[in-house]
């Protein structure tokens, strides 16, 4: 896959999900290397104030919000401030700033299924895609990877785990795992805030407790997913598509220090790991400059202060969401998309304090048990499956409230 990286001409970057954690950290890295990267477009859900602030600072050519009313407010504020940023709205506009001819790099950091279409647009247009949106691969892994190949896009995973695996894979990354001498992928998991909690404690978990992650600063949805281990389950599905790995070739290891971000085991007995402080600016900087390296603003890892590294197996009884993800991957077809949609609705209900923490896996199990899985044929099919799964989950949640 070709890439147009040049130290002389700043690379034009579109950030999908600019006001979120990954988006803000991407802008931080870009700010450190203004001679190499320029902000072309920014998007947010409907965060008018947040996007206005970013537009004033970075002066992108385009800004996109989902809702027309929110876009109108942003447009008026920017015009009053004398900004030339063009404000657009809607999913089509997200796709336009992802596949625009002037764009070199797309940071795909929209949380949830809403990020699927613009990521696909970037792939078809042959962009360098920094993929931080799990759902694109979980919902439409085969379609997305085919679009990447057909479009000649460069795909770089930004999840710390997959970025770590990418870094310690053979440099040519050609062929399947066996041809590369890879025996197994080891995804590390912090275990979240409740890794030692009893079932009784998990039943009583509050919203505030679930959002108090011990190691990482993330958005609320991903933080809850980390607490249920669904985040790791989604990463298992991602790893399958990114690295052409069978489910039995992907293991999850609980590593509470979050210093080793993931590992690759080779057939000769070697295990290669990528280590660093838990800061997403490291994989972001790696993706922006690949195959070069540049400073990210992340402090060096102090191995002497770290002192010890602990590992344990995940408990799939207390955290059944991880097993659900393996089951969905084995089932294939639309199963991962249904799991993802159900999880988004259940987590949203928990964040709204409508259901308890353990009601999340309860709802997922009921949705998956009643679902009919089919082979994936198109994005339109997946959108319909996603919508139906959301409706089914919402109905189940009504019985749990």
pLDDT digits (tens, 9 = 90+) for 28-78: 999 999 999 999 999 999 999 999 999 999 999 999 999 999 999 999 999
Taking each continuous run of H as one helix and of E as one strand, the counts in the chain are: 17, 11
| Euclidean distance between CA atoms 268 and 290, whole angstroms | 28
For the chain, the straight-line distance linking the first and the last C-alpha, in angstroms and rounded, comes to: 50
pLDDT above 90 coverage of the chain, percent: 90
**Cα–Cα–Cα angle for 318, 214, 305, rounded to 5 degrees:** 120
C-beta of residue 53 within 8 angstroms of C-beta of residue 27: no
* Residue extent(s) of CATH 1.10.1740.10 domains in the chain: 332-401
- Do 128 and 153 meet the contact criterion of CB atoms below 8 Å apart? yes
pLDDT, position 8: 67
Which residues, 6 or more positions from 141, have their beta carbon under 8 angstroms from its beta carbon?
Answer: 237, 238, 240, 241, 336
Strand partners, 43: 16, 64
DSSP 198: -
Please name the residue that has the structure tokens 């922006």: 288
Radius of gyration of the chain measured on its C-alpha atoms: 21
Q: How far apart are CA 223 and CA 228, in angstroms?
A: 9
Buried b (16+ CB within 10 A) or exposed e, 123-147: bbbbbbbbbbbbbbbbbbbebbbeb
- CATH 3.40.50.720 positions along the chain are 11-158
- pTM (2 decimals)? 0.91
Per-residue model confidence (pLDDT) at position 234: 95
Report the candidate in 238, 116, 219 with the shortest Cα–Cα distance to residue 165: 238
pLDDT at 5: 46
For helices 321-331 and 230-243, the axis angle rounded to 10 degrees is: 30
**Helix, strand, coil content of the chain in percent (nearest 5):** 50, 15, 35
**Residues of the chain falling short of pLDDT 70:** 1-8
Which residues have C-beta within 8 Å of that of residue 385, sequence separation ≥ 6? Answer: 334, 337, 338, 341, 374
pLDDT at 175: 75
Listed in order, strand segments (DSSP E) in 44-198 are 62-65, 86-89, 105-108, 128-131, 154-157, 182-189
Question: What pLDDT, on the 0 to 100 scale, is given for residue 56?
Answer: 97
pLDDT score of 341: 95
Fold (CATH) for 332-401: Rna Polymerase Sigma Factor; Chain: A (1.10.1740)
Outline where 303-378 has alpha helix (H): 303-306, 321-331, 335-351, 359-370
Please state which of the four CATH numbers 3.10.20.30, 3.40.50.10420, 3.40.50.720, 3.40.50.280 is assigned to the domain occupying 11-158: 3.40.50.720
Q: What pLDDT, on a 0 to 100 scale, did the predictor assign at position 189?
A: 94
């Amino acid at each position: 896959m070709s890439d147009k990286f040049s130290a002389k001409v700043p690379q034009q970057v579109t950030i999908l999900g600019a006001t979120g954690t990954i988006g803000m950290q991407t802008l931080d890295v870009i700010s450190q290397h203004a001679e190499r990267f320029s902000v072309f477009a920014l998007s947010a859900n409907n965060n008018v104030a947040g996007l206005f602030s970013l537009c004033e600072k970075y002066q992108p050519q385009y800004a996109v919000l989902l809702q027309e009313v929110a876009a109108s407010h942003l447009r008026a504020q920017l015009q009053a401030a004398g900004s030339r940023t063009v404000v657009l709205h809607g999913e089509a506009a997200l796709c336009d700033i992802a596949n625009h001819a002037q764009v070199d790099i797309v940071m795909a950091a929209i949380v949830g299924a809403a990020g699927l279409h613009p990521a696909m647009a970037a792939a078809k247009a042959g962009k360098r895609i920094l993929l931080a949106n799990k759902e694109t691969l979980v919902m439409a892994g085969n379609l997305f990877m085919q679009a990447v190949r057909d479009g000649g896009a460069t795909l770089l995973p930004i999840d710390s785990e997959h970025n770590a695996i990418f870094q310690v894979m053979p440099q040519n990354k050609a062929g399947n795992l066996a041809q590369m001498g890879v025996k197994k992928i080891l995804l590390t998991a912090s275990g979240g805030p409740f890794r030692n909690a009893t079932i009784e404690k998990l039943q009583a978990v509050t919203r505030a407790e679930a959002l108090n992650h011990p190691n990482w600063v993330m958005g609320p949805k991903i933080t809850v997913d980390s607490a249920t281990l669904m985040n790791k389950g989604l990463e298992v599905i991602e790893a399958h598509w990114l690295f052409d790995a069978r489910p039995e070739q992907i293991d999850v290891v609980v590593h509470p220090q979050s210093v080793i971000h993931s590992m690759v085991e080779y057939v000769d007995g070697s295990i290669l790991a990528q280590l660093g402080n838990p800061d997403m600016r490291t994989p972001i900087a790696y993706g922006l400059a690949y195959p070069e390296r540049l400073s990210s603003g992340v402090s060096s890892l102090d191995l002497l202060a770290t002192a010890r590294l602990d590992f344990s197996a995940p408990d799939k009884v207390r955290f059944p969401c991880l097993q659900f993800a393996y089951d969905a991957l084995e089932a294939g077809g639309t199963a991962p998309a249904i799991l993802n949609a159900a999880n988004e609705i259940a987590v949203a209900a928990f964040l709204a304090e409508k259901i308890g923490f353990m009601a999340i896996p309860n709802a997922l199990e009921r949705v998956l048990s009643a679902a009919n899985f089919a082979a994936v044929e198109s994005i339109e099919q997946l959108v319909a499956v996603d919508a139906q799964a959301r409706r089914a989950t919402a109905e189940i949640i009504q019985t749990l409230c």
